[in-house]
Amino acid sequence: MPVVSTPVSLRHAEGPMDNAEVERIRNDFPILHQEVNGHPLVYLDSGATSQNPLSVIEAEQEFYEQRNSAVHRGAHTLAVAATDVYEDARQTVAGFINARPDEIVWTSNATEALNLLTYAFSNASLGRGGAAARRFALGPGDEIVVTEMEHHANLIPWQELAFRTGAALRYIPVDDTGALLLEEAENIIGPRTAILAFSHASNVLGTINPVQTLVKMAHGHGALVVLDACQSVPHLPVDVKALDVDFAAFSGHKMLGPTGIGVLYGKADLLNAMPTFLTGGSMITTVTMDKAEYLPAPQRFEAGTQRISQAMALAAAVNYLQETGMERIHAWETELGRRLVSGLEQIEGIRVLGPKAGVERIGLAAFDVEGVHSHDVGQFLDDQGIAVRVGHHCAQPLHRRLGLVSTTRASTYLYNTTDDVDAFLAAVAGVRPFFGVK
**Catalytic choice (80, 347, 394, 429):** 394
Q: Which is nearer to ligand PLP, 47 or 385 (CB)?
A: 47
Residue 300 CB, nearest approach to ligand PLP (Å): 22
Mind giving me the DSSP string for 340-401? HHHHHHTSTTEEE-SSPTTS-B-SEEEEEETTB-HHHHHHHHHTTTEE-EEE-TT-HHHHHH
- Min dist. Cβ of residue 248 to ligand PLP (A): 11
Question: Which C-beta is closer to ligand PLP: that of 133 or that of 205?
Answer: 205
Q: Judged by CB, which is closer to ligand PLP: 17, or 120?
A: 120
Of 113, 118, 143, the C-alpha closest to 275 is: 118
> For residues 83 and 111, which CB has a smaller minimum distance to ligand PLP in the complex?
111
Contact 365, 340 (CB under 8 A): yes
Crossing angle (nearest 10°) for helices 418-429 and 326-345: 20
Query: In angstroms, what is the minimal distance from the CB of 179 to ligand PLP?
Result: 16
DSSP conformation class of 304: S
Asked whether the beta carbons of 246 and 267 are under 8 A apart, the reply is yes
**Which of the 8 DSSP states describes residue 67?**
I
Which chain residues interact with ligand PLP by CB under 6 A? 48, 109-111, 151, 153-154, 199, 203, 228, 230-231, 251, 394
Least distance to ligand PLP from the beta carbon of 284, Å? 27
Shorter beta-carbon distance to ligand PLP: residue 203 or 276:
203
Task: Return the closest-CA partner of residue 135 out of 197, 245, 223, 218.
Answer: 223
Name the residue among 260, 259, 262, 237 with its Cα closest to residue 249. Answer: 262
Residue 76 has phi, psi (to 5 degrees) of -90, 165
394 part of the active site: yes
CA 401 to chain centroid, in Å, comes to 23
CA–CA distance, 292 with 122 (Å, rounded to integer): 19
Using CA atoms, how far residue 6 sits from 43, 163, 316, 397, in Å, is 24, 48, 9, 43
Output the smallest distance, CB 310 to ligand PLP, in A.
13
CB of 406 to ligand PLP, least distance (A): 15
Q: How far is the CB of 253 from ligand PLP (least distance, A)?
A: 6
Q: For residue 396, count CB atoms less than 10 angstroms from its CB and return exposed for 0-12, middle for 13-18, buried for 19 or more.
A: middle
Give whichever of 233 and 308 is closer to ligand PLP, judged by the CB atom: 233
Q: Cα dist. 32→35, 57, 260, 330 in Å?
A: 9, 14, 22, 21
End-to-end Cα spacing for the chain: 61
Q: Which is nearer to ligand PLP, 48 or 347 (CB)?
A: 48
Active site residue ranges: 394
